[in-house]
């Protein structure tokens, strides 16, 4: 999962740097065709990143819901285990809950970074539209 997070961050940073360089060159050249193509490309990429962000939000909520359901089952098993007969079941549930909790933390971290990266792209969209209006 870590390599995927780094890949998505790298894609966001590469796109941001590419559009920043295009904005700088378009501000000097005033080429309307290139500006339109850049705006279209940027809109498509932002749409792709937004879709990625939405999918990760759904997956994050799903994993958190499963973790909470298993945590409730774990607590129920511990509460019912007066004689120690369910100790192995509760130990397995506890281990699964711990693993899912760590996974949830990584998903939340990834979603946070993806959300902030997409938010930075909105500023570039404004810059591109300001260049369009100036012409």
- Chain segment 58-110, per-residue pLDDT in tens: 999 999 999 999 999 999 888 887 777 778 888 889 999 999 999 999 989 98
Query: Which of 124, 1, 115, 100 shows the shortest CA–CA distance to 52?
Result: 115
Structure tokens at 3: 């390599």
What are the extents of the domains in the chain?
2-134
Structure tokens at 67: 């973790």
Whether 44 shows a pLDDT value over 90: the answer reads yes
B/e letters for 9-48, b = 16+ CB within 10 Å, e = fewer, are eeebeebbeebeebbeebeeeeeeeebeebbeebeebbee
Q: What radius of gyration, in Å, describes the C-alpha atoms of the chain?
A: 23
Residue 93's CB is within 10 A of a number of other CB atoms, namely 20
């Amino acid at each position: 999962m870590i390599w995927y997070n780094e890949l998505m961050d790298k894609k966001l940073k590469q796109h941001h740097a590419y559009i920043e360089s295009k904005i700088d060159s378009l501000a000097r050249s005033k080429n309307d065709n290139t500006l339109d193509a850049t705006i279209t490309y940027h809109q498509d990429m932002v749409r792709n990143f937004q879709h990625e962000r939405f999918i990760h939000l759904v997956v994050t909520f799903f994993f958190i819901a499963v973790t909470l359901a298993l945590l409730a089952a774990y607590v129920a098993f511990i509460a019912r285990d007066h004689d120690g007969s369910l100790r192995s079941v509760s130990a397995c549930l506890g281990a699964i809950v711990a693993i899912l909790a760590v996974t949830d933390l990584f998903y939340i971290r990834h979603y946070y970074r993806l959300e902030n990266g997409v938010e930075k792209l909105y500023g570039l969209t404004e810059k591109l539209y300001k260049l369009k209006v100036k012409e």
